[in-house]
A and B are shown apart, each in its own frame.
Chain A
Amino acid sequence: MRATCARKDLHHGVQVASRAIAGRSAWPILNNVLIRTEEGHLRLTAFDLELGIECTIPAAIAEEGALTVPARLLAEVLSTLPEADVEISADEQSAVELKCQKSDYNLLGLPADEFRQLPEIPDDRKFTITQGALRDIIKQTILSVSTDESRAILTGVLLELKENEIKFVGADGYRLALRTATVDGAAGEASCIVPRRALDEISRMLDDDDSPVVVSIAESQIKFVVGGIVLVSRLIEGQFPNYERAIPGECERKLTMPTDDLLQRVRRASIVARENANRVIMKTEEDRMIITAESGDVGKAYEELEVVKEGDDIEIAFNSKYLLEFLTVVGSEGIVMELTGPLNSGKMAPVGRDDYTYVLMPMQIV
């Protein structure tokens, strides 16, 4: 195999694909990037068996074929080469040669036929959504995804596809974020758990615009196609807990308030709350909400803001970190809190929208 391309293109391609290499694998081929010739292109693939990423770059093909080479090593060499064309080639013994002006590198590769191909994902269960919309949905649900390895099932987002609607649910045992959206070109029904890592990686690739992302779901994999990039991820196996049970029904006590005002005040109070497990106490008095935090080693915080209140007064404690994460991504001018009681979960949502719900368990004062 022999091909010539711009250094910048090859470097970028290797960087994109190698996001699929999580760490140093004991199986050397999993640390390598596969480079294959196509008409007028090079196709780059990396796959650590959990996550695979594929992209193409323009190239002049002199001799067809494929090679694999350690991705980190190649990226490092490319990052320091001068801005010019590079020629990449491999011989029968998998020795890879990289030439650029007066630089010439021989890197040890592995045979391309040892590389594990990305699984084929059929298109019978799929939907199309804009990049901007998908980016927001992931941002608004991934905050609730657990990082606790002992609860594997909660380390991903539940994705449900039914007719023209998709539902994303993130839950870590203490809170839950639910986003719904209508989509185009939907086919079939699906319910699967997408690992956090796949969503993190796809988010990096998404622009804030209307260009499409096509998502296809198979029995144990999911595929995202964004521009010329394909991302395939393994799904988390198992039954997601019955989250609907955790969402409180309609409640008479409703508090409406400006998002940014609340965000600023909770953020400030959380400086004091930090030393006390992030606990902030919210208390309503007529049309005001008083936010306090206290820590024996630090001191006290007091904040006050105006709210529109329906129903009786309430006093309730929350983890400020969980509140802040929601307020940062909610993306609306105002929010509504529905609070049943100091021991019951609270429901929060953007004003005037019914596609985003955040449910948070209060802290108990022992």
Chain B
Amino acid sequence: MLGKTAGGLYWMFRYLERSENISRLIDAGFRIALTRSKSANDEWASVIRTAGVRESYEQKYDSYTATSVIDFLLRDSDNPSSVMSVVDSARLNARLVRTALTREVWESTNECWMTLKQLLARPVSERELPRVLDTVRQQSALVRGALHGTMLRTDIYNFARLGTFLERADNTARILDVKYYVLLPSVSFVGSSLDNIQWETILRSVSGQRAYRWLYPAKVDPVTIADFLMLDARMPRSFAFCYTHIAANLDYLEKDYGISRPCHEQADEILDNLKETTIDQIFEDGLHEFIGEFISRNISIGNQIENDYQFYGNAV
């Protein structure tokens, strides 16, 4: 496979994953704004920070209002991480690697783009917002479904999955990075409504509120939530889950190509670390430091993969 093709697949699925994650962030922010109008603006500010677009947002707006944040995150072409921008990028990459995709995967990507292009042609009103956010996630799910249902399990598939899981791990880590303080025991008033809402927002940002309740019906506490989002390999958006898959995808490539590269070692190290550590240990050593370290290792393995498989210079 061409290095460029591997890179195109990887980025295509990173961008698709990002479109979903951004829509979840908006959803969680919207929810909290509806229930707690007083500090809604702070909440929107933290959504912008989590999305990693604070600088470009502040260049454009002086304050954090629901209207401007939602518009910026959903459809602003000045924001390279807006839903519309990333879906555009995903489709461009899909065109680039069209020969590596099944017709179903290409068509669902193209349809995702066409649907959102139309849906996001004008500013989205509050009334329409839930439907629009649902559509974003559904469209991305359709592409994923086509990928699972129609693609051969070759290097092509594995590069696509690597993009998905690296992006997802990054996203979960960023949510925790911005909100880590609400999980710290020192400032928490167990059971206060304020904390409950904050915790729920975190879970909602990763569509994990129901899953969490299912596993822990009677136990809403920050340590368990942190454990759930970082170390619980059953939770499909946790660090541990993502790295179990990243390591497996890289294993496949190692066997298929018959050569081990630096990224393999890095992935194994990160996964081993997630398996061996405990949540108590993490809190003891510093939650924020742990998350920060994870984010930078995640970025570094991404660069290593690009390098090891010769993507060089081709991401659109």
Question: Do chains A and B interact in one complex?
Answer: no
Q: Chain A: residues with CB nearer than 8 A to chain B?
A: none
